[in-house]
Amino acid sequence: METLTNVSLSETTQKAKETSVQEFNISKDIFETDIISDESNVLGEKQQIVESVHFSDIEDLSKEHLKDTPESPTVEDVNTVISSDTSPKELKNKTDEDSNEDSDSMPDLIWPEKKSKVPTDLRSTLSSSTSQDTGFGSEDVGDTSPDEIPSKTDSLTSGSQDAVDSKLTTQTEDSEAEDSSVMDILGNGLLIKKILTAGYGIDTRPTNGDIVTLKVEGRREDGKLVDNEEITFYLNDGDVILAFDLAAALMEQGEKCELRTDAKYAYGSLGREPDIPKDSKLIYILELLHVQHAPELSSLSFEERLKIGESKRERGNYLFGRSDYTGAINSYNKAVKVLVDPELNAGLDKTSHSILVESSVKCYNNMAACQLKIDAFDAVIRSCEKVLASETNNVKALYRIGKAYGAKGEIEQAITFMRRAIKLDPESKMLNQEMLNLTRRKLKETKTEKELYQKMLGVKPTQNQPSDKKKTRNSKTFIKWTVAAGVVAAALVSVGVAFFRTS
């Protein structure tokens, strides 16, 4: 009987173990399915994978199943078996047969085939990165501890993370390479340069004063073509709009770029008649065709110097008309430096010399006009003195220097130059009006000075001076006596004439 009891207990325990393993396999299938379904979102979600596994649920599931398994045989069950007609040997054989039947009906511990939802490219990355056994494909299920699962999940995701990081880095580098062709020249977003075709290297960039040739194609924002030409100019001499000077200094020879400029660096609030309205933003395609270092001034001929000087003077006149007085002054200064060179002019014939002097006088006179506009009175005086040194009777220079002295409060000096100008052009209303203004200011200053002197001497302005009423009364008395004297004189004359006739 003791042998029979041990056999029954061992069979029952074996069944319970087999059932627990089967249920653990089911739970493991659930666990693996959750893991694989989450592999598509494995980046940044490691904690979600770990948290989706609840080993306490597995243990609870196994315990519930053990409750449903046959309990261990009691003493009553054993007695029942003993009281039966079955012999111990037959009972043992029957028990072995039942055990074989149960074992045959029990499914093999084979993992079901899983269908992963992970994309093919990511699955290949994951498989290559998972070189260690995760425990899901092992037949020794009992050797895998649940505590080891998070660390194996970490190894599962590390390769994927590296792959994605590498891809992001590559994209960032490509983006930076693309952005390197775009330059915010002034940092305010108003002048943007984008390279379309690279040039021949940074060594081919022009420097200040170099002669550059640009191919220019300009359009308004609505697409209308406003420029399509080749222009040659001295870099940063103010010969072109500011946008061209700033962009060309950053271009390489052979480079082609797109330049987007605000109206501030193009044609401003005045625009350009007839095709560019005021405050127009423009889009240019520029190509730097040629760069040439500026020649030495001494190497230029008289004709070349005159041509350069005249072009800069005309540029100054254009800027003056646009009220860009500072830009105009810069252009006039550039022209004067080319035209006025005592050493170079000394070797010229009289005619050539007089032509250069005439051109420089125009530049100085126009420069003085600009300087008056910006209240640079000392500069006006210097410019006019340059003119008067060559042409003593230049009316414009006399007028402007007189006006500058008047603005500084030196009235006597101003009147002196203004009188000289009026003598040369007495019919000029402008000169006479300015002279009248200066004279009034002089009288006012004289009166003010007289009153100041009286105050300094302690004499009241009205002291020792007859009042207006007294003056009027005296005047009336004088008139009366004058009339009376006239009447008396007339009477005496009449009496004398009558006496002469009677005698």
Question: What is the rounded CA–CA span in Å between residue 332 and residue 366?
Answer: 8
Residue 259 lies in a domain: yes
Query: Taking the chain, what is the end-to-end CA distance rounded to the nearest angstrom?
Result: 214
Q: Is the pLDDT of residue 144 over 80?
A: no
For residue 176, what pLDDT is reported? Answer: 47
Asked whether residue 193 falls in the same domain as residue 303, the answer is no
pTM above 0.85, yes or no: no
- DSSP string for 269-289: TT-BTTTB-TT--EEEEEEEE
**Residue matched to tokens 């625009």:** 271
Residue that terminates a domain, selected from 294, 319, 340: 294
For residue 156, what pLDDT is reported? Answer: 41
* Beta pairing class for 211-220 and 282-292: antiparallel
Asked whether residue 353 falls in the same domain as residue 402, the answer is yes
Contact by Cβ (8 Å): 65, 17? no
Residue that terminates a domain, selected from 254, 276, 294: 294
- Looking at residue 318, which CATH number applies to its domain? 1.25.40.10
Asked whether residue 417 falls in the same domain as residue 450, the answer is yes
Mean pLDDT lowest among 34-43, 185-194, 325-334: 34-43
CA atoms within 13 A on the CB side of 164: 12
Positive or negative: CA dihedral 134, 140, 141, 147 = negative
Q: How confident is the model at residue 119 (pLDDT cuts 50, 70, 90)?
A: very low
Dihedral (Cα; 332, 337, 340, 343), 10-degree rounding: 180
Question: What is the rounded CA–CA span in Å between residue 390 and residue 424?
Answer: 17
Q: How confident is the model at residue 339 (pLDDT cuts 50, 70, 90)?
A: very high
Percent helix, strand, coil in the chain (nearest 5)?
65, 10, 25
Residue 188 lies in a domain: yes
Question: What is the rounded CA–CA span in Å between residue 313 and residue 366?
Answer: 9
Asked whether residue 449 falls in the same domain as residue 326, the answer is yes
Mean pLDDT lowest among 157-166, 387-396, 488-497: 157-166
Question: 156 CB contacts (<8 Å, ≥6 apart)?
Answer: 39, 42, 126, 129, 130, 134
- Show the 3-state SS of 456-487: HHCCCCCCCCCCHHHHHHHHHHHHHHHHHHHH
Q: Is the pLDDT of residue 273 over 50?
A: yes
Asked whether residue 447 falls in the same domain as residue 302, the answer is yes
Q: How confident is the model at residue 343 (pLDDT cuts 50, 70, 90)?
A: confident
Asked whether residue 279 falls in the same domain as residue 380, the answer is no
Question: 185 CB contacts (<8 Å, ≥6 apart)?
Answer: 191, 192, 193, 246, 247, 250
Q: How confident is the model at residue 341 (pLDDT cuts 50, 70, 90)?
A: confident
For residue 357, what pLDDT is reported? Answer: 92
Q: Is the pLDDT of residue 207 over 50?
A: yes
Asked whether residue 313 falls in the same domain as residue 403, the answer is yes
pLDDT in tens, 373-427: 999 999 999 999 999 999 999 999 999 999 999 999 999 999 999 999 999 999 9
Q: How confident is the model at residue 444 (pLDDT cuts 50, 70, 90)?
A: confident
Q: How confident is the model at residue 346 (pLDDT cuts 50, 70, 90)?
A: confident
- Check residues 187 and 130 and name the one with the higher pLDDT: 187
Q: Is the pLDDT of residue 88 over 60?
A: no
Mean pLDDT of the chain: 74
* pLDDT, mean of residues 85-93: 48
CA 411 to chain centroid: 50
Asked whether residue 317 falls in the same domain as residue 437, the answer is yes
Asked whether residue 302 falls in the same domain as residue 254, the answer is no
* pLDDT, mean of residues 257-262: 97
Helix (H) or strand (E) holding 370: helix 350-373
Contact by Cβ (8 Å): 240, 180? no
Residue 407 lies in a domain: yes
Q: Is the pLDDT of residue 54 over 70?
A: no
Per the structure, the count of domains in the chain is 2
Residue that terminates a domain, selected from 294, 311, 335: 294
Q: Is the pLDDT of residue 205 over 90?
A: yes
- Check residues 394 and 158 and name the one with the higher pLDDT: 394
Angle formed by the axes of helices 302-321 and 350-373, nearest 10°: 20
Q: Assign residue 131 a region: left if phi > 0, alpha if psi is -120 to 50, beta otherwise? A: alpha
Residue 152 lies in a domain: no
Question: What is the rounded CA–CA span in Å between residue 36 and residue 128?
Answer: 16
Query: Which residues form the domain of 447?
Result: 298-455
C-alpha closest to that of 289 among 199, 191, 210: 199
